[in-house]
Amino acid sequence: MNKAHFVSNLLCLYTFLKILPVIDSSQARAYRGSLPLIAEFTMAKHSWLLIAALPLSISPSWGADFYYRQQEKGTVYVAEQKGEKDEILSELPGVNFSRLWRIANLANNQETRLLSDFNPDKFDCDDRNNCQHTWLTDGRSVLWSGKVLKNPPGEPNVDAASFQAFGAFAADKRSVYFDGQRTDDR
């Protein structure tokens, strides 16, 4: 759950706890007691209906969508959130945007999207809206989550030509990667 959604839920809970004593105060009970039974039922039903609908009135933030965009001769990785200004998360001056494509996810044989379809960079979302990024390449560099994949010093360079993706896992001819980090030799 992201921060904005948590704050929204907290605000709903706070409002509910503030309204509850008003609905169930002695004055409200006395007033409802003087009404015919159907009116009392209708008032109580409407009060609880309003409380139940309160979370719907607060529009929670469902998180940002991530996009790769061309900027001058390079590429930028942008977070786009509804109603807010786009935020540049990373600048990738050495990445050729016009040659950028998605590396096929071999773990998902049901994949029907074209390899040129890489925006937005949020795919394979689960029930809790946790989304997996996709591996991309321009033929020279490999990208994951807006970052150029680089091996630590002393390790072989990332080989874009032999790079294969298996969900968040990936491998080239010399290394194994998980979630954008080198984990081991192949």
Least confident range from 4-18, 26-40, 62-76, 104-118: namely: 4-18
* 91-113 pLDDT per residue, tens: 999 999 999 999 988 988 777 77
Domain locations along the chain = 3-57, 97-185
pLDDT at 110: 74
The strand pairing partners of 92, in sequence order, are: 75
Q: How confident is the model at residue 58 (pLDDT cuts 50, 70, 90)?
A: very low
List the alpha helices (DSSP H) in 24-138: 26-33, 37-57
Please give the pLDDT value at position 97.
Answer: 93
Least confident of 26-35, 52-61, 166-175: 52-61
> Looking at the DSSP assignment, which residues form a beta bridge with residue 76?
69, 91
**Sorting pLDDT into bands at 50, 70 and 90, what band is 141?**
very high
> Cα 30 to the chain's mean position, in Å?
49
pLDDT bin (cut points 50, 70, 90) of residue 1 is: very low
